[in-house]
Each structure stands twice: as structure tokens, then as C-alpha cells.
A = this chain, B = another copy of it.
């Protein structure tokens, strides 16, 4: 997606060897028009795949997920990372190690919101080590639902998550895949689209 790549090159900042900061348009400061374009692109790519529900994880996946859900006309289920009095006890759960937060958390989805008739599309802002996505896949499989695929805004292709998820037989569509990046000279190289 050319508009995304332009934004990454223009506004993205490389920190160290692993972190790409795109907080000016994707997660901390959110550009709604741009998110709408991203949601439309996901809907275009997964149209006709029989998606019945989108699953994302709080909180940076929510904005692209709700626009994808709008254009695919399906509900969005947002997996919760935090304990809350408002969350029912009867949940599917999976442990997820977050590299950006440096700790493990439990992701939860209320059992009322996924069932075996569902065809699930995952949407998230980043795919790096793939821990969050693997947790969501295990939850969806536990519910007996079908995994249609994963729509990712930015995949860090030099980290292991994308390969691990694709090796599970899951379709992963990333709008931009970063092949390499360097803090030293600020370069960001994308993989060619297939």
C-alpha cells in the first residue's frame, strides 16, 4: 500500500534495531482518514472470503479493525489484555509475551462473542515476533471457529512472527513489510510486493 509506505518513510523513526515508531499516525496519534483507507484496503483483500467477525487486540489494533469491520460489515471483537470488573469470568484465554512492554499478559475473549460457526479475520497494527497473533489464533481454534487470515498494517519482516504464522498455514496479508531498517542512517527498506 503506497500511501502507507510513504507515511512510514516520511514520519517513521527507527529506534535501535527493533523498534519502528509510527506513533504520529498509527497508534498514539491516529489519522482517521488514513485509518479508513487502511480498513478499506483490508476489506478489499479479504472480500469474498466469508469473514463473519474480526478479532483484534487492545489497543492499537482497534482503529484499523473497526474500519475493516465497517467495510466488510461484520462485528469486531477486541481481545482484552487487562483485568477488569467489567469482563465476564467465562472467557477464552491465552498468554502473550509483549516485547514492547517486556512482560507477559493474559489475553481474553468472552465466550459469548466467538462460536464454531465464525470465520475470523485478525487485524492488528504490527506483526513482529507474532506472540499476540499466536495467542489470538489459539483462542479462535479453542472456540472451534475458522481462521480466514490476518491483516497486518506493518510487518517487521526481519523478525520471526510472519514466518511462524504462515508456517501454521494462516494467510497473512501485510500492507507494508519492512525488510530491514537502520537507526544509524534512518533507512527503512521494504520487501517487494508479491
Q: Among the listed B28, B76, B80, B82, which residue makes an inter-chain contact with A30, where contact means beta carbons less than 8 Å apart?
A: B76
Contacts of A82 in B (CB 8 A): 101
A76–B80 Cα gap in the complex (Å)? 21
Q: Among the listed B23, B63, B78, B80, which residue makes an inter-chain contact with A66, where contact means beta carbons less than 8 Å apart?
A: B63
Contacts of A73 in B (CB 8 A): 32-33
Q: Among the listed B32, B77, B87, which residue makes an inter-chain contact with A29, where contact means beta carbons less than 8 Å apart?
A: B77
Question: Do B80 and A28 touch (CB < 8 A)?
Answer: yes
A80–B58 Cα gap in the complex (Å)? 11
Does chain B have a CB within 8 A of A48?
Answer: no
Minimum CB–CB distance from A10 to chain B (whole Å) comes to 15
Does chain B have a CB within 8 A of A110?
Answer: yes
Does chain B have a CB within 8 A of A21?
Answer: yes
Contacts of A99 in B (CB 8 A): 85
Binary contact readout A116-129 vs B (1 if CB under 8 angstroms, 0 otherwise): 00000000000000
Which residue of chain B lies nearest to A30 when distances are taken between CB atoms in the complex? B76
Count the copies.
2
A59–B27 Cα gap in the complex (Å)? 11
Contacts of A69 in B (CB 8 A): 30, 32
Does chain B have a CB within 8 A of A70?
Answer: yes
Minimum CB–CB distance from A35 to chain B (whole Å) comes to 6
- A84 and B59 in contact, given A32-B67, A110-B28 (Cβ under 8 angstroms): no
Does chain B have a CB within 8 A of A104?
Answer: no
- A23 and B101 in contact, given A28-B77, A73-B33, A78-B30 (Cβ under 8 angstroms): no
Chosen A-B contacts, 11 in total, with CB atoms closer than 8 Å, are A19-B85, A23-B88, A28-B77, A28-B109, A30-B77, A32-B70, A32-B73, A32-B75, A35-B66, A66-B66, A82-B101
Sort A-B residue pairs by CB-CB distance and give the 4 closest, nearest first. A59-B59, A58-B59, A32-B69, A32-B70
